[in-house]
Amino acid sequence: MNVTDTQNAYPFLQQLTQAFGPSGLENPVLSLLAVATQGYADETYRDTLGNLYVIKRGTSGKQVMVSAHADEIGLIVTFIDTDGFLRFTTLGGVSVTNLLYRRVVFENGVSGVIAVEKLDKPGDLSLEKLYIDIGATSESDAAAKVRIGDSAVFVGEYTETQTRVISKALDNRIGCFVLSEALKQVVSPHTLVFVFTTQEEVGLRGARPAAYALDPDWAVTVDVTRTGDTPKSARMAVRLGAGVGIKVMDRAIVIAPYVKTWISEQARKQQIPHQFEVLESGGTESGAIQLTKSGIPVGVLSIPARYVHSPGEMIDKRDVASAIALLVALLQDQAGPQIPIY
């Protein structure tokens, strides 16, 4: 598969990234996915945490869970002062250094800008020094527009070139996009349950009960990973445009060697560009899936992304095409990962 094969689908990625969907408020994103996958599913339903399940039935007797989280990082209002400025805390891993003078938007369309109190020295920058200015003139004016507990997301417009995409929320709407494209193409002997999960950014929450309920024979997660290809970045053997990442380890999981071998062998057989990924900070919901019940074999396909958890994340379409092709190959494999007999 190459970029041209999926080019016509990218307007849907734009819709996904620009939809409002911080942790706990993923409905706009999940509604888009429910409509987009409707014609390819035998059954669709939601659970009590809001996870969206899209099922494509097979006859092998085996069930495979395929997951990608639908939520994005965000902010949540904790206090409104007498002048109408909003204090807030974070939803997910948001760096304070990424916040200053960023624009944000609330679910009801109210916009604001993150600003900072006067600092005695630059090193004093902290979350407690920041506030959101929505242009209100008083506490009552602000409270008429935004309430305590309301969430906001970054404003980050979608920009696309021949090979690359820049946008907010590519973590992890690109994973959702890969799942939706694979669903359209795959013909598998197994029952496939595509799960678009909630609240990953605040503790891998949606995937855990989903994996518990399904208890699949094996699972595959699709998410973004960081890169080591920008000036003076941390040393990491992942680059944009070099192919889909096959996860070896992150802070939530060490992939079982037989699962890693199975995935890499499929990539090699299908001649799919790929690279191996060791993420030294951060994790994915695969860690929650792996530890469910008596343990679930799980692999991770990683989309290299620059500037993760910012309003301007960047991915390469060639890596996306590789991820779709490899996911389809894995799901169509008759045997799946084979647990070694010692």
Active site residues: 200
Residue 262 tokens read as 């199975």
For residue 222, give Cα distances in angstroms to 51, 66, 89, 209, 320.
15, 8, 28, 18, 11
- The C-alpha atoms of residue 85 and residue 106 are separated, in whole angstroms, by 14
Report how far residue 240's alpha carbon sits from residue 244's, in angstroms, rounded to the nearest whole number. Answer: 9
What is residue 50's three-state secondary structure? coil
3-state secondary structure at position 262: helix
Q: How far is CA 120 from CA 96, 129, 131, 171, 241, in A?
A: 17, 11, 17, 35, 43
Beta strands 159-160; 151-154: pairing state: unpaired
Residue type, 100: L
Q: In angstroms, how far is the first alpha carbon of the chain from the final one?
A: 38
The residue ranges of DSSP E strands in the chain, in sequence order, are 43-46, 52-56, 63-69, 74-80, 86-91, 103-106, 111-116, 130-133, 151-154, 159-160, 164-167, 191-197, 218-225, 244-250, 253-254, 274-278, 298-304, 313-316
The two tokens of residue 15 are 């819709």
